[in-house]
Structure 1
Amino acid sequence: MADLVAAGAPELPSGWFYRVKSDGLGFLEVEIRQHRKRFGSRLLASAYVREDEPNGRRAVGAACRAALRTIHAEGEHARRLRQASLLLGDHDPRGGR
Structure 2
Amino acid sequence: MSMAQLVAAGAPELPAGWFYRVTSDGFIGLKVEVRERRKRFGSRVIDYAYVRSDEPDGLTAIVASCRHAVKRIDEADEELRNRRDAAQYIGDHDPRGGR
User: Same fold, TM exceeding 0.5?
Assistant: yes
SS at match of 2:51: strand
Q: Which deviations, in whole Å up to 9, do the C-alpha atoms of 1:5-26 show, x marking residues without a partner?
A: 2332111110111011112335
Could you list the runs of 5+ residues in structure 2 that have no partner in the other structure?
A: none
If the length of structure 2 is used for normalisation, what is the TM-score? Answer: 0.84
If the length of structure 1 is used for normalisation, what is the TM-score? Answer: 0.85
Distance in 2, matches of 1:68 and 1:4, equals 13
Could you list the runs of 5+ residues in structure 1 that have no partner in the other structure?
A: none
Aligned to 2:98: 95
Match of 1:71 among 70, 73, 95: 73
- Name the count of aligned residue pairs: 96
Q: Which deviations, in whole Å up to 9, do the C-alpha atoms of 1:3-62 show, x marking residues without a partner?
A: 322332111110111011112335211000111213321211100014685401011000
Deviates more, 1:34-43 or 1:57-66: 34-43
Aligned to 1:80: 82
Distance in 2, matches of 1:73 and 1:24, equals 27
Question: RMSD over aligned Cα, in angstroms?
Answer: 1.9
- Conserved 8 A contact 2:52-2:65: no
Q: Which structure's relative contact order is higher, taking Cα pairs within 8 Å and 6+ residues apart?
A: 1
Deviates more, 1:69-78 or 1:5-14: 5-14
Percentage of pairs with the same residue = 57
Distance in 2, matches of 1:52 and 1:86, equals 45
User: Is 2:50 the counterpart of 1:29?
Assistant: no
Q: Which deviations, in whole Å up to 9, do the C-alpha atoms of 1:70-92 show, x marking residues without a partner?
A: 00000000011001111001223
SS at match of 2:16: coil
Deviates more, 1:81-90 or 1:61-70: 81-90
